[in-house]
């Protein structure tokens, strides 16, 4: 596996997610808001978490040079959430997504991480556009996307789904 770059903000380290984060992902993926707004990934054991990391995350890092980053609070090295740039089936372009453990919501961590990842997307990864999708009921995600200057473009239904999601977009230029 390659060593992919980590990024820092004033309060956070964005570390490329790897198998050492398996136990943390189990906790995050089974938190109430993850299940409500993102969906059940059926990651319940260390082995299933490690497989998810290898198949979904590491393979995208190897293919594109970016994927999911674990958010680590600098003050105490606590893992607080994840953020990533995703090549998602059924969505043309790269999608930014984020999630925090409930204890760390409302503290500005998601915006802080999204702001640096947006910068990296445009300036290091040479993307020309970012997209984002969210459920209509996820008002906090919509507010964050708007703070990132992303614009609502309409709704989309992803493959193997029936749910209409809100689609946001931001171009570099």
Q: Residue 135 above 60 pLDDT?
A: yes
- CATH number of the domain within which 35 lies: 3.40.630.30
What is the DSSP code (8-state) at residue 44?
Answer: -
Q: Kindly indicate the confidence band of residue 162, based on its pLDDT and cuts at 50, 70 and 90.
A: confident
Instruction: Quick: pLDDT tens for 72-88.
Output: 999 999 999 999 999 99
Residue 76 lies in a domain: yes
Yes or no: say if 18 and 1 are a contact pair by the CB < 8 Å rule. yes
Distances (CA, A) of 44 to 28, 55, 80, 98: 11, 16, 19, 20
Residue 52 lies in a domain: yes
Q: Residue 32 above 80 pLDDT?
A: yes
Residue 134 lies in a domain: no
Q: How many domains does the chain have?
A: 1
Yes or no: say if 3 and 30 are a contact pair by the CB < 8 Å rule. no
Whole-structure pTM value: 0.94
- Pull the structure tokens for residue 16: 């490329």
Closest Cα to residue 173, out of 118, 111, 121, 122? 122
Tokens 């995703």, located at residue: 86
Residue 145 lies in a domain: no
Residue 169 lies in a domain: no
Yes or no: say if 141 and 134 are a contact pair by the CB < 8 Å rule. yes
pLDDT for the residue numbered 161:
84
Distance CA 103, CA 121 (A): 28
Residue 163 lies in a domain: no
pLDDT for the residue numbered 1:
45
pLDDT for the residue numbered 2:
55
Closest Cα to residue 83, out of 73, 68, 95, 93? 68
Helices (runs of H) and strands (runs of E) counted in the chain: 6, 8
How confident is the model over 86-101, as a mean pLDDT?
94
Residue 132 lies in a domain: no
Residue 71 lies in a domain: yes
Q: Which structural domain, as residue segments, surrounds residue 86?
A: 7-127
């Amino acid at each position: 596996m390659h060593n992919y770059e980590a990024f820092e903000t004033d309060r956070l380290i964005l570390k490329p997610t790897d198998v050492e984060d398996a136990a943390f992902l189990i906790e995050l993926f089974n938190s109430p808001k993850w299940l409500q707004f993102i969906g059940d990934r059926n990651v319940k054991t260390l082995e299933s978490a490690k497989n998810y990391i290898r198949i979904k995350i590491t393979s995208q890092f190897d293919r594109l040079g970016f994927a999911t980053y674990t958010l680590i609070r600098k003050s105490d090295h606590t893992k607080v959430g994840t953020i990533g740039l995703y090549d998602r089936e059924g969505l043309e372009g790269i999608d930014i997504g984020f999630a925090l453990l409930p204890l760390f919501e409302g503290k500005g961590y998601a915006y802080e991480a999204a702001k640096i990842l947006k910068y990296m997307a445009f300036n290091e990864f040479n993307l020309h556009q970012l997209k984002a999708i969210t459920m209509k009921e996820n008002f906090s995600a919509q507010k964050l996307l708007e703070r990132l200057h992303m614009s609502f473009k309409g709704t989309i239904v992803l493959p193997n789904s029936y749910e209409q999601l809100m689609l946001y977009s931001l171009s570099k230029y």
